[in-house]
Amino acid sequence: MLDRLRRPLRDLRISVTDRCNFRCTYCMPKEVFGPDYMFLKRAELLSFEEITRIARLFAQCGVRKIRLTGGEPLMRKDIDRLVGMLAELDGIEDIAMTTNGSLLRKMAVKLKKAGLKRVTVSLDSLDNERFGQINGQGVTADTVLDGIQAAEEAGFKIKINMMVRKGVNEEDILPMLEHFRGTGHILRFIEYMDVGNANGWRMDDVVTKQDILTTIRTRYEIEPVEANYYGEVANRFRIKGSKDEFGIIASVTDPFCGSCTRARLSADGSVYTCLFASKGHSLRNPMRNGATDEELLALIESIWGNRADRYSEERGRKGPRHKIEMSYIGG
């Protein structure tokens, strides 16, 4: 199944909740996501059975990889049960999760047993105070490091995501690289993106891929590494003379829309064909109104077939638009 730019559908990112126990300044700033914020109500969320049905139909359309995200996916009760249900699906080769890591100590073993293959843990600083400010809740970096250790003990393959923002955590680039060297966990630096409308994004706040490489080259000699597979989003590098790899996800300065094979499913059952989309297509409504599998498959095919999104390649050329928040459709 190809979209209008001849890109196949391969990955499905499922947001299982729009809630989070963090208030990262660049994602769910406290001023916007305060006590009065209207999160989705329980009845609006897809049940695990509904998510699994949709994932099965997506697998029939070519999806091979599923990533659970959010909000914070570990906030969704009994999420390991969903992992177990998805792991049974024909065609799904890989199930991963992106998490802030704060609840991993409690959940890692259960998730592993249920069939989760990989976890990506977000950590923006090793400095407890700075990290507490970034996540808006005073959660320490040590808590997340302990979650990473729990994931390690449970036997997961682990990646670490560090979002880099000017004037906030550039000074953590080298300490983070140093910390994760030799652990086998791949650290990926992420350019600060203009997702949603809540974070007040400005280009001036972006620490670019080139800035990140310049910082790293002050201490290390590095070399590029070939991409592992079609559609890999991170540019990969290795510290010369070692096996230590890191990645940079440069969606602002080096976009990768040409090989974007990802669809996103929001917690209330809408499909988004781009992280920067303004609107989604509800599958929940037809599903709850009794649509058959064939009808839902036809809907998915038409949504993907009509897709022509390439926001990051067009950034700034099309004027401002309303965009959906990251916490609603996941990273």
Residue numbers of the site for ligand SF4 (CB under 6 A)?
Answer: 20, 22-24, 27-28, 70-72, 100, 122, 251, 255-257, 260, 262, 274-276, 309-312, 327
Interface stretch with ligand SAM, choices 106-114, 192-200, 284-292, 299-307 (CB under 6 A):
192-200
Number of residues that bind ligand SAM (CB under 6 A): 21
Token pair in block for residue 310:
């390439």
Question: Residue 69 binds what, of ligand SAM, ligand SF4, none (CB under 5 to 8 Å, by partner type)?
Answer: ligand SAM
Q: Is 187 in the site for ligand SAM (CB under 6 A)?
A: no
Give residue 239's region: left, alpha or beta (phi > 0; psi -120 to 50): beta
Q: Is 103 helix (H, G, I), strand (E, B) or coil?
A: coil
Q: Is 250 in the site for ligand SAM (CB under 6 A)?
A: no
The answer to whether the beta carbons of residues 237 and 248 sit under 8 Å apart is yes
The residue among 198 and 212 lying less far from ligand SF4, judged by its C-beta, is 198
Residue whose C-alpha is closest to residue 114's, from 85, 89, 92: 85
Question: Residue 195 binds what, of ligand SF4, ligand SAM, none (CB under 5 to 8 Å, by partner type)?
Answer: ligand SAM
Q: Is 100 in the site for ligand SAM (CB under 6 A)?
A: yes
DSSP secondary structure, 251-302, as one string:
TTTS--GGG--EEEE-TTSEEESSTT-S--EESHHHHHTT--HHHHHHHHHH
Q: Is 143 in the site for ligand SAM (CB under 6 A)?
A: no
| Positions in 18-77 near ligand SAM (CB under 6 A) | 20, 26-27, 69-70, 72
- Sign of dihedral through CA atoms 3, 93, 123, 107? positive
We find the least distance from the C-beta atom of residue 289 to ligand SAM, in angstroms, to be: 30
DSSP secondary structure, 20-73, as one string:
-S---TTTS-TTTSSTT--PPPGGGSPPHHHHHHHHHHHHHTT--EEEEESS-G
Token pair in block for residue 214:
């310049």
Residue nearest to ligand SAM (CB): 331
How large is the C-alpha radius of gyration of the chain?
19
Question: Residue 309 binds what, of ligand SF4, ligand SAM, none (CB under 5 to 8 Å, by partner type)?
Answer: ligand SF4
The residue among 66 and 260 lying less far from ligand SF4, judged by its C-beta, is 260
Binding site for ligand SAM (CB under 6 A): 20, 26-27, 69-70, 72, 98-100, 122, 161, 163, 190, 192-193, 195, 199, 326-327, 330-331
